[in-house]
Amino acid sequence: MSDNYSFYKILNIVGEEINTKTLISENFKKLALANHPDFVAGDKKIITERFYNICLAYLFLNDEKLRILYDNDIKSDEDNIIIDEGLKIYEQQAAKLATTKYKEFIQILKDELKLISELNAQTSLGLYYDFIEFLEDSKSFELYIDPEDIKPKISLLAEILIEFVKVTGIILIIYIAIYITAYIRI
């Protein structure tokens, strides 16, 4: 197996936690829901690749036999062949998951992988639809300023500015007069 993948690191699992299948599932669920390409704005190629790696790490580590072989520091040639064959299978599955729409992905999490409950699936879909609605609203957002509403405010600002300049001017004149008077006395 090539060392291109650090499956535990991808799933944010470090140290003594690596043998915990529950932690692998929990971290995958959290990362997958937060990093699905339909749910994240940005460069779709990079986001899809990150999501693909998260799916691949979960699928690979979820296979008990492959995880044990992967965890062994010393691997025989036979072990590497088994790991590579398993990796090819899971790479195809991860690629398929990386291209599924969010709604379908939630169904896969619920029905096939059995990682979320019906309630969590409905909540996730609700959040997704809220997100989509927000994106649609933000695309059509226009700032409308009524000129009739602005005129009184501009007039008020102009009056305040004029008064400020008058007061500042008077204070400046008084200051200059005091300075000149003090200078003349010296």
pLDDT tens digits, one per residue of 116-141: 888 888 888 888 888 888 777 766 65
Q: How many domains does the chain contain in total?
A: 2
pLDDT digits (tens, 9 = 90+) for 156-166: 778 888 888 88
Residue 106 and residue 66 in one domain: yes
Shared-domain flag, residues 173 and 101: no
Same structural domain, 69 and 149: no
pLDDT digits (tens, 9 = 90+) for 11-64: 998 877 666 788 999 999 999 999 999 988 889 999 999 999 999 999 999 999
Q: Compute the distance between CA of residue 161 and CA of residue 168 in angstroms, rounded to an integer.
A: 10
Residue 171's pLDDT band (cuts 50, 70, 90): confident
Confidence band, pLDDT 50/70/90 cuts, at residue 2 = very low
Residues 58 and 115 in one domain: yes
Residue 107 lies in a domain: yes
Asked whether residue 116 falls in the same domain as residue 175, the answer is: no
Would 1 be classed as within a structural domain? no
pLDDT at 76 over 50: yes
Does 19 fall in a domain? yes
Residue 91 lies in a domain: yes
Distance CA 35, CA 134 (A): 18
Report whether 73 contacts 20 (CB < 8 A).
no
147 and 100 inside one domain: no
Range of the domain at 50: 7-139
Query: Quick one: 131 and 148 in the same domain?
Result: no
pLDDT at 144 over 70: no
Q: Using CA atoms, how far apart are residues 14 and 112, in angstroms rounded to an integer?
A: 27
Same domain, 26 and 63: yes
Same domain, 111 and 147: no
Confirm whether pTM is higher than 0.75: no
Residues of 152-167 as b/e, b for ≥16 C-beta within 10 angstroms?
eeeeeeeeeeeeeeee
- What is the structure's pLDDT at 131? 81
| Structural domain ending residue among the three candidates 121, 139, 157 | 139
Q: Is residue 147 part of a domain?
A: yes
Residue 104 DSSP symbol: H
The two tokens of residue 64 are: 């008990």
pLDDT at residue number 86: 93
Residue 2 maps to a domain: no
- Residues 124, 34 share a domain: yes
Q: Same domain for 87 and 20?
A: yes
Looking at the structure, tell me whether residues 25 and 102 fall in a common domain: yes
Q: Are 36 and 102 in contact (CB under 8 A)?
A: yes
Residue keyed to tokens 């390409």: 37
Residue 44 forms part of a structural domain? yes
